[in-house]
Amino acid sequence: MSAGEQGPVAGVPGRNWAGNVRYAATRRHRPSSVDELRRLVAGSDRVRAVGTGHSFNRLGDTTGDLVSLAGLPPTVEVDRERHTVTVAAAVRYGDLATRLHAAGYALPTMASLPHISVAGAVATATHGSGVGIGNLATAVAALELVTADGELLTVRRDTDGDRFAGMVVALGALGVVTRVTLDVMPAFDVRQYVRLDLPRAALDEAFASAYSVSLFTDWRGDRIGQVWRKQLADAPPPADDWLGTTAAAGPVHPVPGMPAGNCTAQLGEPGPWHERLPHFRLGFTPSSGDELQSEYHLPRAVAADALAALDPVADRIAAVLQVSELRTVAADELWLSPQYGRDSLAVHFTWTGDADAVAPVVAEVERRLAPYAPRPHWGKVFTLDPAAVADTYPRHADFLALLHDLDPAGKFRTDLLDHYFPISGGRLPPGRGGWRVAPPG
């Protein structure tokens, strides 16, 4: 069946990666050129681009035209004078990193999994971990996108200032991004050590102990089960009794029962940045695969109190949890970034795939975190009140104005966007924009 017809199109997914969202698009497309994409966008009433489908909600869904950019040339262009790389939107971070490393360059951070597309990860402020490291979007120096009228627009950090800061983490609401320019740095090597059984009182010291640190817990006790320390290769290894922990005897996976071979090399074996900063290897299943995910970003200053607020419901969390990850992300000035204006603790939950069992626990977690101004990861499961979310984003009204300016007819809007960024006070109709598991078939 050719692109544009109703029904399946080769290379255009019908569901998200987790399988809990079935896309509602009536037409699917896989253009092979930017000009073809521009004509498609100009002629559509409703259109959304889909990348690798790693969102767990309906942020990327539409009832109109669903577009995969995987058919565009997967260009990667390194500019050695500007220390940047310009990459096609659909290129996965793992593939970009391999090309960059071969050229002697690196990105400052990677997400937990390298399987995600550059444009999709940037649009949702996806991140890694590190007290001094921003999310993936903070490396963006320029964006090229197709706007609602089919025109090709380029915005740059050095020329578009404040407007640029509103367009980087934009949730796909301002246009279809075709190319992204990222800052790069010289390539470097990393050693990864996994330590076990960290006292919660040592969280701050643990996070500050290495280039990138992630903590994993099952909420079944008052200690952190695993500490993944990703340190620069020339830094000394952790002491045998580091923070009262013990060294993992062999490679581990953060999700119980999953094969450690899916994960990046541990035990202090040095290796390139892009083969250590992610938790999972590009050619293998990331995380567990059968899951739902939620994540909330809190000011680091209230991290201890926020975690303590969840302790009374730890048993409820553990009952529907595969693993929980704690990470740090540095503050930035991108309007819709969950780290806007504040250094943050990211509290991540990898739930079981049972949406009915998970839903009331998500609601309880959100209720208990509410006093600490949580901001959700835009691509994951959350049900926070729209007014409460808006109150945590000082530039929320400015983004609404930008939406009206660049997409006055709402061509790129979705039910989820209407819920959290209502143009005229509308709210999500019952049963729309949700994240419940789609039926098989």
Residue 351 DSSP one-character state: E
Where does the pLDDT of residue 204 fall: very low under 50, low under 70, confident under 90, or very high at 90 and above? very high
- Report, as an integer, the average pLDDT of 160-174: 96
| pLDDT cut 70: percent of the chain above it | 92
Q: Kindly report, residue by residue over 348-396, the tens digit of the pLDDT.
A: 999 999 999 999 999 999 999 999 999 999 999 999 999 999 999 999 9
Where does the pLDDT of residue 1 fall: very low under 50, low under 70, confident under 90, or very high at 90 and above? very low
Query: Mean pLDDT lowest for which of 44-58, 69-83, 236-250, 379-393?
Result: 44-58
Q: What pLDDT is stored for residue 441 in this prediction?
A: 34
Tokens of 363: 């609601």
Q: What pLDDT is stored for residue 348 in this prediction?
A: 98
Q: What pLDDT is stored for residue 18 in this prediction?
A: 76
Q: How far apart are CA 56 and CA 437, in angstroms?
A: 10
**399: pLDDT strictly greater than 90:** yes
Q: What pLDDT is stored for residue 9 in this prediction?
A: 55
**143: pLDDT strictly greater than 70:** yes
- Report, as an integer, the average pLDDT of 160-189: 97
**437: pLDDT strictly greater than 50:** no
Where does the pLDDT of residue 97 fall: very low under 50, low under 70, confident under 90, or very high at 90 and above? very high
Q: Kindly report, residue by residue over 261-312, the tens digit of the pLDDT.
A: 999 999 999 999 999 999 999 877 676 567 899 999 999 999 999 999 999 9
Query: Mean pLDDT lowest for which of 78-87, 92-101, 141-150, 427-436?
Result: 427-436
Where does the pLDDT of residue 105 fall: very low under 50, low under 70, confident under 90, or very high at 90 and above? very high
Asked if 32 contacts 69 with a C-beta cutoff of 8 angstroms, the reply is no
The full length of the chain comes to: 441
Beta strands 65-68; 27-29: pairing state: parallel
| pLDDT cut 90: percent of the chain above it | 82
Q: Kindly report, residue by residue over 5-36, the tens digit of the pLDDT.
A: 444 454 567 888 777 888 888 899 999 999 99
| Complete DSSP assignment for 15-61 | B-TTSS-B---SEEE--SSHHHHHHHHHT-SSEEEE-S---SSGGG-
Q: How far apart are CA 396 and CA 341, in angstroms?
A: 13
Q: How far apart are CA 87 and CA 182, in angstroms?
A: 8
Where does the pLDDT of residue 433 fall: very low under 50, low under 70, confident under 90, or very high at 90 and above? very low
Q: What pLDDT is stored for residue 17 in this prediction?
A: 76
Mean pLDDT, the chain, whole residue set:
92
**333: pLDDT strictly greater than 80:** yes
Judged by DSSP in three states, 182 sits in strand
Beta strands 321-329; 47-50: pairing state: unpaired
Higher confidence at residue 434 or residue 119?
A: 119
Axis crossing angle, helix 303-310 with helix 355-369, rounded to the nearest 10? 140
Where does the pLDDT of residue 430 fall: very low under 50, low under 70, confident under 90, or very high at 90 and above? very low
CA torsion, points 93, 98, 102, 105, in degrees to nearest 10? 30
- Report, as an integer, the average pLDDT of 328-339: 98
- The H-or-E segment that residue 321 falls in is strand 321-329
